[in-house]
Copies of this chain bind each other. A is one copy, B any other.
Amino acid sequence: MIRAAVVAHPIDFAAMVSEVAHEGNGATSMFLGTVRSDHDGKDVTGIEYSAYEEMATSEMTAILGEARARFGVEHAAIEHRVGSLDVGDISIAVVAATPHRDACLNAVRFIVEATKARAPIWKLEHYVDGSREWVNAGSGNR
């Protein structure tokens, strides 16, 4: 199974790990992105994530398909959250399970990087001083 979703509720990463479990898999890899308390030296109070949801879902689904073709990953899931997130909240979760470890480690990195590069998702950071700013990918949010 592969599954990609944009969600408006807190991400349950443990459920996603269960979802990719399969008795033929010996390795599971996961990545979580969380809201940090600072960005380029500014104190962050929260992030408002928004997305072009239908396209983000189809783009992430395509990325999972590419991961299957490149790494042989048959069990993978990705969820990206939208809405108002506080510091520490999970914004993205990627999980992949494979028979051996190299494939899932490589696949998770690929899926995370491709999603950050291609999925139409944006974040508006809120700072302690009350200001807000649209974050530009590449401006320190790796």
Contacts and interface: CB of A to CB of B under 8 A. Distances in A.
Interface SS of chain A: mixed
A17 B37 contact: no
Interface stretch (A1-9, A21-29, A49-57, A61-69): A21-29
Contact of A31 (B27, B87, B88): B27
Interface in A16-58: 17, 21, 23-38
A103 to B, nearest CB: 10
Band of interface residues on A:
20 to 34
A100 interface: yes
A14 B21 CA distance: 15
Contacts of A87: 23
A105 interface: yes
Contact of A28 (B14, B24, B34, B142): B34
Contacts of A99: 36
Contacts of A26: 33-36, 141
Contact of A27 (B17, B34, B97): B34
For A32, A87, A97, the residue with the greatest tally of chain B CB atoms inside 10 Å of its CB is: A32
